[in-house]
Amino acid sequence: MSAEWKELKKRAKDELEEGRFLWRKARRSLNAEQRAEAQSLFAELKALLKQKDGRGLAAALEKYAVFKESHFSQVRVNKSWENLKDLFWIILVVFFIRWIFIEPFRIPSGSMIPTLLVGDQLMVNKLIYGAQIPLTTKKLFNLKKPRRGDVIVFKFPPHPREDYVKRVAGVAGDELMVRDGVLLVNGQEVPRDYVEPYIGPTDGGFCESYDLYIEKLDHTGHQMLLCHRSHQGDNFGPVKVPEGMVFGMGDNRDNSADSRYWGFIPLNNIKGKAMFIHLPLDPSRHYLPRWNRFFKLIR
Catalytic residues: 111, 166
For residues 208 and 266, give the distance between their C-alpha atoms in angstroms, rounded to a whole number: 34
For residues 71 and 7, give the distance between their C-alpha atoms in angstroms, rounded to a whole number: 25
For residues 150 and 167, give the distance between their C-alpha atoms in angstroms, rounded to a whole number: 6
For residues 193 and 179, give the distance between their C-alpha atoms in angstroms, rounded to a whole number: 17
Nearest to 262 by CA among 277, 274, 276, 245: 245
End-to-end CA distance of the chain: 55
Residue type, 288: L
- What is the rounded (10 degree) CA torsion for 63, 65, 70, 76? 150
